[in-house]
Amino acid sequence: MTSPAPFAAVLAEVGIDSPVVTMDDSTHTAAEAASAIGCELGQIVKSLLFVADGEPLLALVAGINRVDEQLLGDRLGVELGKANAKLVKEATGYSIGGVPPFGHATRLRTIIDPQLLSYETIWAAAGTALSVFELTPKQLIDVTEGEVVGVS
């Protein structure tokens, strides 16, 4: 998906009243997104897909954190590895760099970094490497039905 329009429809469906903002500069990485938006790096939601015991697992991680795969795998009781670009596209319907935290092609088990809960608002990808939207941590938990688990 190259247009943020389909994701704007997803936001409306789930009842989040937040516009999709298309940036002039890339939001492909957390650092680029924070710079383009003008927010703290920690307010950026990184949508990272892993494979947990053969099943896709989405980790929504604060921009300032890196996932410790061994630690997270141990906490979840699974064998954890990174998903390749093909699996990311198949499972979510989006390409790496534009994966939103919900509205995916398939239902994904979702883990949420507790660091994200320390912010009043957070920003996530909206389907492209140039589009983002703002939401609250509570909205993120409610819509994704994610489990809050330390990732690092």
Q: Is domain 5-148 given the CATH code 3.90.960.10 in the classification?
A: yes
Check residue 3 and give its pLDDT.
61
Distances (CA, A) of 94 to 43, 60, 78, 86, 89: 21, 15, 25, 10, 5
Q: What is the CA radius of gyration of the chain?
A: 14
User: Tokens at residue 85, please?
Assistant: 């670009």
Q: What is the pTM of this model?
A: 0.94
Check residue 5 and give its pLDDT.
67
Domain residue limits, the chain: 5-148
Query: Which residues in the chain land under pLDDT 70?
Result: 1-5
Check residue 28 and give its pLDDT.
78
Contact 86, 140 (CB under 8 A): no
